[in-house]
Amino acid sequence: MKQSLTYHLTLLVIKLKGLKKNFSKDPIDFKKIRKEDVHQPKGKFFKQNGVRSFKISGSVITEIGRADNSDKLLIFIHGGAFISGPGKHHWDTIQEIAKQTNYTIWMCNYPKAPEHKISEISENIDAIYTTAQEQYQASQITLIGDSVGGTLVTALIQRLVEGKKELPNKIILICPVMDATMSNPDIEKVDAIDPMLSKKGILSAKKMCAENNDLKNVMISPIYGSFEQFPETVLFLAENDIMYPDQKLVVQKLKKTNTNVMVIEGKSMPHIWPFLPIMKEAQVSLKEIIKILNDA
């Protein structure tokens, strides 16, 4: 399939911004990458649509709710290699979801590495979900996570299953990171064509987040955990993403457990493509995400 003009423009912008270069350094320059963070939503929409912030454990939750009578909650766990985020593209995505669904949305700005490690970050995600259950039935809750946000969502589900706790209605994973070891040999081939990420920088970020350099801990590498009893799972995967080889392995694991799984693959797409602005392919994919949410 021929890619759109906006696809090529997006790749040009990614190149000009030096994202691949930033994610090719060891140690990764997390302070430089954090300069793109946007911690509070900006713009007219957010001023007019019931935005409030509150803390759960060490996380700042920004709640966006257009409808006072909303009975559905979307917990949004953003990506950023555990070292940064949220970014403008996350807020732009949330704005579109809020406009076109009747969900209350929680953007979860959790603690970051290297100042905080994976166990503390995971405890925060657990606390967020527990707090959500005090206000909503589990069946009214959907979780969405991109990149390492997908890591955190997946690992949360594994802990909930292990603890025999109520599961959310559905999870949506956008190009999730499933194995922090980056040891899959197929990653090397994809690294050569990935326009955004590189194994060297991603591995550096994971080591900053891991405790005792244990990159196989299921909290940071859910591929080593169980995928039994998962709720309905939607995965958006990108062919030109160094995370793609591990994601395909996880899809196989989910199918073996007879999980209700839906997989959308982006041919020649970069990491987290459904959240990238301007690109026509991103707009189509975001509409699909919104439809999935409205059909829940």
- Using alpha carbons, select from 128, 111, 106 the residue that is nearest to residue 52: 106
Burial class (CB in 10 A: 0-12, 13-18, 19+), 42: exposed
ω into 27 cis (within 30 of 0): yes
Task: Match 């555990």 to its residue by tokens.
Answer: 82
DSSP track, 95-153: HHHHHHS--EEEEEE---TTTS-HHHHHHHHHHHHHHHHTTS-GGGEEEEEETHHHHHH
Position 49 scores a pLDDT of: 84
User: Left if phi > 0, otherwise alpha if psi is -120 to 50, otherwise beta: which for 174?
Assistant: beta
CATH code: domain of residue 290: 3.40.50.1820
Over the stretch 24-55, which tens digit does the pLDDT of each residue have?
999 999 999 999 999 999 899 998 887 899 99
Position 46 scores a pLDDT of: 92
Position 144 scores a pLDDT of: 98
Q: How far apart are CA 108 and CA 76, in angstroms?
A: 6
Position 67 scores a pLDDT of: 65
- Using alpha carbons, select from 167, 159, 154, 117 the residue that is nearest to residue 249: 154
Rg of the chain (C-alpha set): 18
Label the pairing between strands 261-266 and 232-238. Answer: parallel
Q: For the chain, which residues score pLDDT lower than 70?
A: 1, 66-69
Using CA atoms, how far residue 200 sits from 4, 78, 180, 208, in Å, is 30, 21, 12, 13
- The torsion angles phi and psi of 261, rounded to 5 degrees, stand at -125, 135
Over the stretch 236-278, which tens digit does the pLDDT of each residue have?
999 999 999 999 999 999 999 999 999 999 999 999 999 998 9
Label the pairing between strands 59-64 and 73-77. Answer: unpaired
Task: Match 């953007």 to its residue by tokens.
Answer: 107
Range of the domain at 189: 5-295
Position 16 scores a pLDDT of: 96
Give ∠ CA 209-120-176 in degrees, rounded to 5. 55
Burial class (CB in 10 A: 0-12, 13-18, 19+), 283: middle
CB burial readout 224-246, b (16+ within 10 A) else e: ebebeebbbbbbbbbebbbbbbb
Give the list of residues 6+ apart from residue 93 with CB closer than 8 angstroms, or none: 274, 275, 286
Q: Residue 226 is encoded by which pair of tokens? A: 């169980």
Q: Residue 238 is encoded by which pair of tokens? A: 């990108």
Count of domains in the chain?
A: 1
